[in-house]
Structure 1
Amino acid sequence: MFLFHVVTLLKHIRETAFVYAITAAGVTHAVTQACSMGELLQCGCEATRSRAPPRPPAAGPGEPAGSGEGGKWEWGGCGDDVEFGYEKSKQFMDTKRRRGKSDIRALVDLHNNEAGRLAVKLYMRMECKCHGLSGSCTLRTCWKKMAPFREVGDRLLERFKGASKVMGGNDGKTLIPVGHNIKPPDRQDLIYSAESPDFCQANRKTGSLGTRGRTCNSTAMDVSGCDLLCCERGHRDETLEFEENCLCRFHWCCVVQCKKCSVRKELSLCH
């Protein structure tokens, strides 16, 4: 498995693009979250003094404009300082990939790093809390929060599926899309410059372990489905028995005790 990762990262393929993007996104997300939780001395909650106030919600039927849900809003709480996480990720991930005169690898990696960071930075959401007697919501404080990292990963997975192949320009500083009538990739798109090897069969040279024996989903139509993952070799269904924790109880203080239960699962495995 380690060999597979090393060989993969040495190539400019679609899978490498995803690895760089998800890593840069992970650094951004982890550092930003640590700031909000007070785990780092260099940062804390997002500063909101210079930010414009949030827009009031839409007024309901028969209400005057701007009167939605009780009126006054202001920034408060502990917003995620994504700018700090973004900059730290940039310093950490881009240091070894400075652009050279004709280094297409550096250009591609820097682009994918940025796409990963933007998958966090550009999709912040607003959360609010009401204040007032009996939940009257006479005042609302709002703050910016990152999306859960699972959503970031799903977003990058979609970019992976639509990744664009590129080649280096003659000036060594630009990337040109390969193919006819293809729009240049934007900052959020993932890019690659070489085709992926065949991952279906085990190959020591490329580090691929193949897909024989892999668990697949016999009803899915996407990349997790048996048709694609098993590379049209077919699959077999097996019933396997696993031992899992069950009937867990919390005992004051502070131990969780569980029993062991046998669970039978129906699995589909690639031929």
Structure 2
Amino acid sequence: VVRKQRDAIITFFLFFSFLFRAVGSPLVMDPNSICRKTKRLAGKQAELCQTEPEIVHEVAKGARLGVRECQYQFRFRRWNCTSHNKYFGKILQQDIRETAFVYAITSAGVIHAVTQACSMGDLLQCGCEVTRTRAPPLPTAGPGADGSSWEWGGCGDDVEFGYEKSKQFMDAKRKKGKSDIRTLIDLHNNEAGRLAVRNYMRTECKCHGLSGSCTLRTCWKKMPHFREVGDRLLERFKGAFKVMGGNDGKTLIPVGHNIKPPDKQDLIYSAESPDFCLANRKTGSLGTWGRVCNTTSMDVSGCDLLCCGRGYTKQTVIFEENCLCRFHWCCVVQCKKCTVRKELSLCL
């Protein structure tokens, strides 16, 4: 059983580490190559490769979207979501808070990418949301609360299709019900990422009427911007729950006294994170030596915290950047090159 669980984790890591390495590579444009390279795929993942390679293409885009957002959200932290292959793999093999965020943001990236591809008409299996399946809007609620009438229309995002494909792929190697705390944690964090998209759909409307009046509005559902998803999941990361396995092997129990159980949108973990101060290939830490820090900040980007009390050094950097840009009709932007001197603080 332990060997099967280990193999499942390795297979999952192999696929996504391959996607991360392939950023900017022609392989990303060829889902068949991705599937051939990851020969250990099985079950639902292999089925997607064989029957819906265009979905795998969007899964790859979603994975890259998730990693880029992870790197943005963690840019000032000791572990900055580096995609360095050897170190990233070590992070994924642990049950720490950082791993919870990676799983959640990647799962969110997949649902976001697949759903967006549907709306853009890039996939034959789906398109705009079928609004006829939704109950008609109430005349006194929502966008028509001011008295103007409105109806569902336009091209709403079919988030349910994206949700199902993300679930089909991300959860494929995890069998719920097994007495494996890692499986339960990963499934929970995957779902938290998907819900950070599905539960926060927004309503957009367009006015119709003579002379710019708004006697009728057509409304549709759109996904939240992915930066909003990342911000929301970062807050969940900060308040993540530490859990342990229940005696029945099928439930998770929060660690501590009088702590409410985590809900479906919370992130969970079972092991404490390393401090990430020094390079350690065993834990996946690259350390913080040479990282740029903020001498005036008291948060995680400040030199005291980011440099782990080792201090910092000042370094002057000279570089060129575009400046004095002007728009010329039509349609060229011309800029000059300006030399900029900037003093940086670097961790020792």
The alignment's TM-score, normalised by the length of structure 2, stands at 0.70
Which residue among 121, 124, 139 is the counterpart of 2:216? 139
> How far does residue 241 in structure 1 lie from its aligned partner after superposition?
1.8
How many residues are paired up? Answer: 265
- In structure 2, the residue matched to 1:102 is 179
Q: Which amino acid in the other structure matches residue 91 of structure 2?
A: T
Q: 2:101 matched to 1:35?
A: no
Deviation at 1:244, TM superposition (A): 3.2
1:16 aligns with one of 76, 99, 104: 99
Worse overlay, 227-236 or 20-29? 227-236
Residue 126 of structure 2 corresponds to residue 49 of structure 1: no
1:117 to 186, 189, 194: 194
Q: Which has the higher contact order (CA 8 A, sep 6+)?
A: 1
- Superposition deviation, residue 67 in structure 1: 7.6
Q: What letter is aligned with 1:234?
A: G
Superposed CA offset, 1:37-88 (max 9, x none): 11111110011112123345779xxxxxx98545110011111111111110
| Alignment-derived partner of residue 5 in structure 1 | 88
Corresponding position of 2:318: 241
C-alpha separation in 2, matches of 1:220 and 1:191: 28
CA 109–78 in structure 1, closer or farther in 2 if over 3 Å, else same: same
Q: CA deviation at 1:242?
A: 2.3
Structure 2 CA distance for aligned equivalents of residues 175 and 68 of structure 1: 43
Partner of 2:242: 165
Q: Secondary structure of 2:171's partner?
A: helix
1:202 to 267, 279, 287: 279
The yes-or-no answer on 1:266 pairing with 2:343 is: yes
Q: Is contact 1:45–1:81 with CA below 8 Å preserved after alignment?
A: yes
Task: Name the one with the larger strand percent.
Answer: 1
* Counterpart-to-counterpart distance in 1, 2:213 and 2:330: 38
**Which structure shows the higher helix fraction?**
2
Q: Which deviates more, 15-24 or 255-264?
A: 255-264
Deviation at 1:98, TM superposition (A): 1.4
Alignment of 1:171-190 (within 5 A): 171-190=248-267
Tell me if structure 1 keeps the 8 A contact 2:139–2:147. no
Q: 1:201–1:208: 8 Å Cα contact kept in structure 2?
A: yes
Output the CA distance in 1 between the equivalents of 2:165 and 2:328. 41
CA RMSD between the two structures = 2.5
Bigger shift: residues 173-182 or 221-230? 221-230
1:192 and 2:269 aligned? yes
Secondary structure (helix, strand or coil) at the match of 2:133 reads coil
Letter in 2 for 1:173: K
Shift of 1:3: 1.8
In structure 2, what is the Cα distance between the partners aligned to 1:58 and 1:206?
52
Corresponding position of 2:22: none
CA 1:58–1:38: 2 relative to 1, 3 Å:
closer
Structure 1 residues 200 and 127: alpha-carbon distance in aligned structure 2, compared to 1, 3 A threshold:
same
Q: Indicate conservation of the 8 Å contact 1:17/1:191, yes or no.
A: yes
Change (3 A) 1:264 1:57: farther
- The alpha-carbon deviation at position 192 of structure 1 amounts to 0.4
Structure 2, unmatched stretches of 5+, are: 1-83
**CA separation of 1:58 and 1:123: change in aligned 2, threshold 3 A:** closer
Match of 1:80 among 134, 157, 168: 157
Q: Counterpart in 2 of 1:224? A: 301
Contact 2:140 2:147 survives alignment (8 Å): no
Q: Is the counterpart of residue 155 in structure 1 residue 232 in structure 2?
A: yes
Q: Distance in 1 between matches of 2:305 and 2:152?
A: 48
Q: Is there any run of 5+ residues in structure 1 with no aligned partner, and where? A: 60-65
